[in-house]
Amino acid sequence: MLSVTLLPPVLLVTVAVGTTAAFLAWRERPEPGVVPLVAMLAGQCWWSACLIFQVQATTLESKVFWVNLSWIGVVVIPVAWLLFALQYTGRDQYVRPRYVALLSLIPVATVVIALTSQSHDLLYTESTLVLQNGNLRLVQGVGSWFWVITGYTYLLGLFGSVPLLGLVRSDSLPFRGQSIALLVGTLAPWASNALFLVGIVPLKGLDPTPISFAVSGVAYLGALTRFRLLGTNPSPNRRARRLVFQRMQEAAIVVDSHDYVVDVNESAAETLGVTPREILGSPAQTFVPGYDDLPEDGSASSQITLDGTNRESRYDATVTQINDFRGRVIGRVITLHDISEHIRQQQRLEVLNRVLRHNIRTETNLIAGYADLMEGDDNDPRATTVKEHAANIAEMGEKAREISNIFERGREPTEGTLLSALLRESVAAVREAHPDAVIECEPIPEGVYVATVLDPVFSNLVENAAEHNPGDHPHVRVTVETNDDWVRVAVADDGPGIDEYERSVLERGAESPLMHGSGLGLWLVTWATGIAGGRVSFETNDPTGSVVSVRVPRLSPSDRTTGETPPS
């Protein structure tokens, strides 16, 4: 049992530790939770200080005075604890003046009752001095209001601890450490007080709760210094999740297990043409077209059509089940993805593809035919020039059509294709088209798979290296490097090399009226490689020429990548 002579020094240490923690916390303002935490620490220090004066007092009146005055700190602690827990965990919408006022009604009434206890017995029924071990102890009988404020204090302590318990299993080490330290700092005085109330602590007339504030202060200091309490806190998490849900571009509707709408985001309300007040609590079938045809989980097989203000819109629907911790389905999230623009873009590409495939080819064939007539009748040398430009236009149209096809293929699942097959076909085709070119290809590792969309990449690189070389015998070398994750294919030539200006445009990733490339071949290589998840790099060959390297992920025969990767 702690000696009364040692009690004041211990309580002074408690006050010092609590004051230090309050000072460190106050420096972090205006971080969420600073003011309630400082108020709670101040309340603990106030209670401890009043106990020091109460122990030192020698008369009944003075001891009763300090006990009554200590209630100011006693009632501040649970209210401040609850407010801190709400702000710290991001539930600050409940920390409003009217809510704080409601929470403070019983504590304020308790302080008033304590300061006027001489005229009633609501808080204490009687107060007497008892001599124990040579020291005067104040013994008081408790009234009905004492149990009211005691129950209220424990209730607020429980409500404040519940949000913190959810952080004990957080993936963030600082949040786990903070929550555990805070819970320990709160549990120590609560447990001490509970043991005193049930009579287990053998200190007649002396509540040891302020002594346990030393444990609280150390725990709070550890949370502030070791785990960066108030420097790193989870308060943005709840608001951020709600903000992401509300501001996400896709429409999201949350339904319960009985198919009633329980939540919608802003995009869903706008898409369905309703207000949240209209749809919340209503059957989902009333507002979501084709709701009964949606799967229990996964992507819908058919599209949802909604009539907008100006035009019809079409959506892909995805359903995600919501399970409780036992794995039972308690609801679903229906996500609507607007594919109207994608469909319109696909239609435009189909028209463009037709023009590139047929119209341009037809027109260039006509131009070449008239040029042949000019060359045959008048032997006009300009006919050759016309035919060359017509061939360039036809080639450019073919490249554009090929790029259009690449973008279309990028939107579909891509299967792995043998690298050896792609390179051998590309090299063989160029050797046939350019018999004077010397094309070397190092042994290609077998069993290496890459994205099929790279087929035109290798063809264009090898063809460009042979075609744009003014030498009599252009030399092209293809090398392959591979590991478990990546494949690098390098095409080197001994030609004039790629102009620095052309390379800068490709590295910028966009053209402008003043800065643009001379063709589509290298753009095709860059975009297709980006769709395959890789990147292209350009180097200077020694002594002349260029080295174009394509580095892409290595796939397996069963690998399938869905979705489109934007060109880089």
Q: What is the DSSP letter of 255?
A: E
Separation of alpha carbons 550 and 542, rounded Å: 19
- Cβ density class 305-322: b for 16+ within 10 Å, e for less: ebeeeeeebbbbbbbeee
CA atoms within 13 A on the CB side of 150: 14
- The model's pLDDT over 311-332, given as tens digits with 9 standing for 90+, comes to 678 888 899 999 877 788 889 9
User: What pLDDT is recorded for position 519?
Assistant: 58
Rounded to 10 degrees, what is the CA torsion of 258, 262, 268, 272?
Answer: 60
pLDDT band for position 565 (cuts 50, 70, 90): very low
pLDDT band for position 413 (cuts 50, 70, 90): low
User: What pLDDT is recorded for position 511?
Assistant: 47
Q: What is the DSSP letter of 464?
A: H
Q: Which of 67, 172, 77, 82 is nearest to 127 (CA)?
A: 67
Among the listed ranges 8-22, 335-349, 368-382, which one has the minimum average pLDDT value? 368-382
Q: What percent of the chain has pLDDT over 70?
A: 83
Q: Is residue 537's pLDDT more than 80?
A: yes
Separation of alpha carbons 250 and 267, rounded Å: 6
More confident residue, 522 or 513: 522
Give the 3-state secondary structure of residue 46.
Answer: helix
Q: Is residue 552's pLDDT more than 90?
A: yes
**For residues 119-135, average pLDDT:** 82
User: What pLDDT is recorded for position 498?
Assistant: 77
Average pLDDT score, the chain: 81
What residue has token string 């071949």? 521
Separation of alpha carbons 89 and 239, rounded Å: 10
**For residues 463-488, average pLDDT:** 88
Q: Is residue 472's pLDDT more than 70?
A: yes
Angle between helices 60-88 and 173-197 (to 10 degrees): 150
Q: Is residue 479's pLDDT more than 60?
A: yes
User: What pLDDT is recorded for position 509?
Assistant: 52
Q: Is residue 514's pLDDT more than 70?
A: no
Give, for 492, the enclosing helix (H) or strand (E). strand 486-493
User: What pLDDT is recorded for position 340?
Assistant: 78
Contact yes or no for 451/551 (Cβ under 8 A): no
Q: Is residue 411's pLDDT more than 60?
A: no
Q: Is residue 568's pLDDT more than 50?
A: no
CB-based contacts of 450, cutoff 8 Å, min separation 6: 416, 417, 419, 422, 487, 532, 552, 553, 554, 555
Q: Which of 337, 273, 346 is nearest to 309 (CA)?
A: 273
Give the 3-state secondary structure of residue 553.
Answer: strand
- The model's pLDDT over 147-180, given as tens digits with 9 standing for 90+, comes to 999 999 999 999 988 888 877 877 667 777 888 8
Separation of alpha carbons 545 and 497, rounded Å: 4
- pTM over 0.75? The answer is no
- 141: β partners: 126
- The model's pLDDT over 183-236, given as tens digits with 9 standing for 90+, comes to 888 888 888 888 877 777 666 556 778 878 878 878 888 777 777 777 777 777
Give, for 131, the enclosing helix (H) or strand (E). strand 124-132
Ramachandran area for residue 561 (φ above 0: left; ψ -120 to 50: alpha; else beta): beta
Q: Dihedral sign, CA of 557, 558, 564, 568?
A: negative
Q: What is the DSSP letter of 191?
A: H
Q: Is residue 406's pLDDT more than 80?
A: no
Give the 3-state secondary structure of residue 32.
Answer: coil
